[in-house]
Amino acid sequence: MSTQALTLETHDETVKDGIVLIDFWADWCGPCKQFGPVFEQASEKHEDITFTKVDTEDQQQLAARYGITSIPTLVAYRDGIPVFGQPGALPAPALEQLIDQVRALDMDQVKQQYAQALEQERAKQQAHAAQAHSAPGVRASTDPAAF
């Protein structure tokens, strides 16, 4: 299987099942050009994995959604859950090792940890929202850097 372009419109459907690797890149990026053939060769070898590429120039909203500030950046999903993300061009052996690690994940444990992390994030956002609404115009922080 060769790589496919990933867009904001196709993202959610693409990452929801199986193993999906996302390569964030740009045409002007030298390290991206070095990593591209490594990524493409891995896609030919691992036909059961979806290999996608995001052109950060064309898909700026999707790159922003991920907070991409350095390219290339590689993101891995398994069964709809992001399990890896790192900037930098990987050599072929490191990419193979990553693929092996993603395959070996205990997804029951990953799903449990992911659900807990989401719940903690929701609770943190709710607490922040409640704090912001409790005393308009009054800052709760005593840290001068927060002002």
pLDDT digits (tens, 9 = 90+) for 28-65: 999 999 999 999 999 999 999 999 999 999 999 999 99
Alpha carbon distance 64, 39 (integer Å): 22
* 32 annotated active-site: yes
* 147 annotated active-site: no
* pLDDT confidence of residue 134: 63
Mean pLDDT over residues 112-132, rounded?
Answer: 88
Catalytic residue among 15, 19, 22, 29: 29
Asked if the bond preceding 72 is cis, omega within 30° of 0, the reply is yes
CA torsion sign for 60, 66, 71, 72 is negative
Catalytic residue among 32, 54, 71, 74: 32
Q: Contact 20/77 with Cβ under 8 angstroms?
A: yes
Task: Domain 4-105: give its CATH superfamily.
Answer: Glutaredoxin (3.40.30.10)
pTM reported for the whole predicted model: 0.82
